[in-house]
């Protein structure tokens, strides 16, 4: 088997944070920060599978023959690639435990949990979908998505793993330019279902929104009226690609704490807080109407202004709920002072990250000044794109590097492991964002055609 790669994006919440907890709508969109998985076959024995994740300091090897195949292949337990799995089997989880306890035994408790969660997601997918006859492989994972920042890094990784194993099984068709939309949608659905299973291993009770965005790309609007029921998810197929700054405050925050803060405020001032939540809901609805309108053009400043205004209003309402932070306000202040665009917090707030939609007339010198200020004050900035592609495939792992005039370049594990930081990873294997043109070789399933079965598209998050 030739070496190949899969890739999937992270995500940000663009509108609707906290209001979504109370049954209102929120919008999440893909960003161009991505995870990349290189799958390399081992030609000779031993029959091992190895998971290498250098960005979190993890590497572990399992002997294929020693894995608990008898438990996963039992007639009462066996799952197939076309099955819908909406919960983990406790007996199968238990069967994996002896193969997880020796993952990173010398790591700190926090790192050990992170490593074992990743190993658990990988093994559950590998054992559910694969077979004992699988050849040895090395799965090498790199990510440009900050971990633990609410940017969907785990879902991105699970989509990479799901798509890679399904490709190894030859149960996916395409992607190719002439693939019918309904056929492409079926492939996306299949990847998404199994990525959700990986998220179950990591988070226990995920909403399914992160993996849906990571698989399909673009954006979704989601609403969860009752937490005993699954959210309703509406894909936004024509969501435009927009230039975005993502700024990590490096301020730790607790989602539970911020949610509790809003709940307490609502209990004390229901007559005031409820209209704020309703207004946030209207913002998400207005944003959806805006980007799906035939009049919306991301190249026209008036369209971008309206999108940015909604972001700014949304932030103001979130600040009124008490979930901003001085560091988030400082980022907004800098962007306003330099007239670079429109900024808001993303996610739970109380720290975490801010996003900024860039004004098309943003001054390069002001952008450089912003970079200097952010560096000076300890922030971490990423230049990214909002609303990009979902899961992608590079088969074989060969890229054409037009920007260096090097011709075709085969991606091997050593080069992949030695890529330094976000810029190094993107330069070597990136799908093509920011400073780089779209790269030849990467292919994506497109579900934006006229024959998409929307009911089936929403199934993965109907958990």
> SS3 of 305, please?
helix
**CA pair distance 313, 17, nearest whole angstrom:** 13
Catalytic residue list? 210
The residue whose two tokens read 């958990």 is 463
Backbone angles phi and psi of 453, in degrees to 5? -85, 95
**CA pair distance 168, 4, nearest whole angstrom:** 10
Q: How far is CA 293 from CA 181, 236, 288, 297, 456, in A?
A: 22, 11, 8, 9, 24
**CA pair distance 67, 85, nearest whole angstrom:** 21
**CA pair distance 391, 210, nearest whole angstrom:** 12
> SS3 of 443, please?
strand
User: Is 380 in contact with 273 (CB distance < 8 Å)?
Assistant: no
> Which is nearest to 153 in space by CA: 328, 251, 31?
31
Count of helices and strands (H, E) across the chain:
14, 15
And the tokens for 75? 């007639």
**CA pair distance 387, 76, nearest whole angstrom:** 41
User: Is 449 in contact with 235 (CB distance < 8 Å)?
Assistant: no
Ramachandran bin of 398, using left for φ above 0, alpha for ψ from -120 to 50, beta for the remaining angles: beta
Q: What is the CA radius of gyration of the chain?
A: 22
> Which is nearest to 239 in space by CA: 301, 298, 291?
291
User: Is 1 in contact with 165 (CB distance < 8 Å)?
Assistant: no
Angle, CA 288 vertex, CA 283 and CA 293 arms, to 5°:
125
User: Is 292 in contact with 236 (CB distance < 8 Å)?
Assistant: yes
Q: What are the b/e assignments for 66-96, b being 16+ CB within 10 Å?
A: ebbbebbeeeeeebebeeeeeebbeebbebb
């Amino acid at each position: 088997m030739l070496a190949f790669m899969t890739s999937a994006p992270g995500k940000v919440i663009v509108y609707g944070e906290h209001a979504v907890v109370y049954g209102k709508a929120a919008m999440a969109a893909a960003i161009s920060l991505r995870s990349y998985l290189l799958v390399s076959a081992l030609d000779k024995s031993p029959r091992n599978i190895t998971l290498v994740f250098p960005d979190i300091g993890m590497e572990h090897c399992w002997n294929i023959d020693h894995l608990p195949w008898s438990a996963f292949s039992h007639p009462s337990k066996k799952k197939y690639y076309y099955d819908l799995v909406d919960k983990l089997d406790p007996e199968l989880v238990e069967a994996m435990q002896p193969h997880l306890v020796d993952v990173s035994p010398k790591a700190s408790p926090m790192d050990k949990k992170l490593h074992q969660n990743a190993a658990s997601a990988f093994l559950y997918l590998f054992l559910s979908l694969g077979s004992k006859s699988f050849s040895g492989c090395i799965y090498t994972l790199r990510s440009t998505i900050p971990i633990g920042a609410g940017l969907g890094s785990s879902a991105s990784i699970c989509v990479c793993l799901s798509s890679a194993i399904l490709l190894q099984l030859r149960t996916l068709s395409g992607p190719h330019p002439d693939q019918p939309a309904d056929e492409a949608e079926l492939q996306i659905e299949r990847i998404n279902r199994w990525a959700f299973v990986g998220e179950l291993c990591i988070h226990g009770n995920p909403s399914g929104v992160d993996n849906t965005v990571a698989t399909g790309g673009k954006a979704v609007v989601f609403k969860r009226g009752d937490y005993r029921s699954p959210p309703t998810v509406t894909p936004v197929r024509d969501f435009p690609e927009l230039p975005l700054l993502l700024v990590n405050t490096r301020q730790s925050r607790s989602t539970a704490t911020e949610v509790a803060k809003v709940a307490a405020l609502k209990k004390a001032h229901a007559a005031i807080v409820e209209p704020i939540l309703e207004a946030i809901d209207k913002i998400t609805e207005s944003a959806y109407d805006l980007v799906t309108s035939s009049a919306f053009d991301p190249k026209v400043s008036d369209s971008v202004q309206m999108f940015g205004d909604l972001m700014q209003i949304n932030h103001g309402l979130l600040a009124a709920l008490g979930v901003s932070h001085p560091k988030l306000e400082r980022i907004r202040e800098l962007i306003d002072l330099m007239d670079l665009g429109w900024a808001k917090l993303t996610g739970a707030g109380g720290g975490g990250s801010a996003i900024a939609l860039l004004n098309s007339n943003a001054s390069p010198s002001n952008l450089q000044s912003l970079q200097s200020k952010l560096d000076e004050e300890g922030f971490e900035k990423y230049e990214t794109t909002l609303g990009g592609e979902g899961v992608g495939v590079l088969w074989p792992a060969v890229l054409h590097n037009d920007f260096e005039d090097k011709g075709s370049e085969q991606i091997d594990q050593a080069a992949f492991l030695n890529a330094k930081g976000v810029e190094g990873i993107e330069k070597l294997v990136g799908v093509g964002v920011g400073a780089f043109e779209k790269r030849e070789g990467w292919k994506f399933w497109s579900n934006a055609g006229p024959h998409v079965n929307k009911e089936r598209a929403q199934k993965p998050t109907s958990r």
